[in-house]
Structure 1
């Protein structure tokens, strides 16, 4: 039986004879159901109509994204270290070419995912690389659509995946929303992979924070300051957000502090009538 994938959010459901009646991820206010209604696909169909592209951002960090755009359209990141490789976040499409390329770089030691919108086909990713563990924050456990022994829930504020590679809970638009800190990145100045918890804006000089990106629901002041509280103790100069172009190459820590204050001022009415 096929494991159906929601075409809007990219979430995979357990194998079944027919598509699920609904997608709770899309029915939530942080996502949406398109005007034409819910639709479904499978990995087999995606492998015919789509392919993955790759971009090396810096030594040890490669972006992986699907073309043409599918579902939310995020890209994953492959963090390569001497201790093993980590896949940060997931995309729905996994195919033979992707597996071959990653195995050529040493395979995967583990997968870690920021929040439920990017869980996608995590079970297939794990299976493809020898049932590697998939680390999710326990606060978001109820959003797992396809339970599996490969899923390992972590708790608290930080979890060290490898020496120098740490998951940090920032919250954001999900209580367990996580980001990844790679201490050796950016020539040793430190990298944060922030997904869409701290979103690199298109000016690449500032960040934004949303409860729902498609529905334009802003995050609260408390939520934004929680993201900053999680990140500011870390050493970092560069941030990779959730799309290929959403990269802040330098000055990211100070830009984050400035962006938090600008955001809080904006939702407090600082720009009314300006």
Structure 2
């Protein structure tokens, strides 16, 4: 039975519909007339009209795949892709499993694979563009759902059980930090043991065509699709969060950059703080980190 108070307890049992343009889900009694996430200023509306998929249709049209990218970290994605096509990451730990972000739709085989790995104890995401099919994971595994209060407005298809403000450590060694910027509640996940920062859309990479784990460029933006840069205050908040985290890899919902860590990220942020911020890609080779930008172990 759905959580909640009578007469609203069945609200989360309504059918779910996937937006073909952005990959977000809505729970409605009928196919929705439009998509609020596409109408938001950070995205664009579809040029040929709205199209929404049911769960069964989405599974048929967007096969789900998975792979262990690093020991104990599994990536789930759809190919061919729907909408913007984010990846889901399952981070396994001795204390439990945490999923950060979600792909557009999970197949039954993918859900069975997650179950074989021990299921999902904690669920979270960086921001609404990466919510994907979080609702499928919540319906199947009933995990704690930790989301920042700043983005609660966008969670209507979900039941948030663990709202947080600026920081949360839902499992030992896994830290959620709110950066703001791209969205008011935009957050990152830091895996302290592995030194990986799951940065959401705080950063964006272009990858080497011959090496999918090697980034060639890095950028930061308020709205990637529209090329809107961050403000100086937003960049200062990014720097405050990133400087406290000794990460050696940086993963977005789309790229897993093994050659970019805190030093390179701070070099980008500091360069933009020193002048007018922009949203243009910067070659990693052009960034020369200073000793104070490197984590103590890397200085």
With structure 1 as the length reference, what TM-score do the two structures score? 0.88
Give the aligned partner of residue 26 of structure 2. Answer: 13
Check the 8 A contact 1:90/1:119 in 2, yes or no.
yes
Give the aligned partner of residue 120 of structure 1. Answer: 132
User: Residues 75-132 of structure 1: CA distance to partner in whole angstroms, max 9, x if unpaired?
Assistant: 1111011111111101220121111111111111111111111223322211112x11
Please show how residues 141-180 of structure 1 align to structure 2 within 5 Å.
141-148=152-159, 151-180=160-189
Distance 1:266 1:7, change over 3 A: farther
User: Residues 145-179 of structure 1: CA distance to partner in whole angstroms, max 9, x if unpaired?
Assistant: 3243xx12433221001110010111121111010
Check the 8 A contact 1:206/1:255 in 2, yes or no.
no
Check the 8 A contact 1:138/1:153 in 2, yes or no.
no
Give the aligned partner of residue 202 of structure 1. Answer: 207
Give the aligned partner of residue 148 of structure 2. Answer: 137
Secondary structure of 1:211's counterpart equals: coil
d(CA) in 2 for partners of 1:6, 1:101: 25
Give the aligned partner of residue 223 of structure 1. Answer: 234
Distance 1:261 1:35, change over 3 A: same
Q: Work out which of the residue numbers 41, 50, 62 in structure 2 matches 1:38.
A: 50
Give the aligned partner of residue 198 of structure 2. Answer: 193
Give the aligned partner of residue 3 of structure 2. Answer: none
d(CA) in 1 for partners of 2:161, 2:76: 23
d(CA) in 2 for partners of 1:52, 1:147: 21
| TM-fit CA distance, 1:33 | 0.7
Higher mean C-alpha displacement, 113-122 vs 83-92? 113-122
Check the 8 A contact 1:141/1:153 in 2, yes or no.
no
| TM-fit CA distance, 1:268 | 5.3
Secondary structure of 1:80's counterpart equals: strand
Secondary structure of 1:4's counterpart equals: strand
RMSD: 1.9
Distance 1:38 1:136, change over 3 A: same
Q: Which 5+ residue runs of structure 1 have no aligned equivalent?
A: none
Give the aligned partner of residue 3 of structure 1. Answer: 16
d(CA) in 2 for partners of 1:251, 1:173: 20
| TM-fit CA distance, 1:251 | 4.9
1:259 aligns with 2:268: yes
1:183 aligns with 2:195: no
Higher mean C-alpha displacement, 137-146 vs 24-33? 137-146
Secondary structure of 1:210's counterpart equals: coil
With structure 2 as the length reference, what TM-score do the two structures score? 0.81
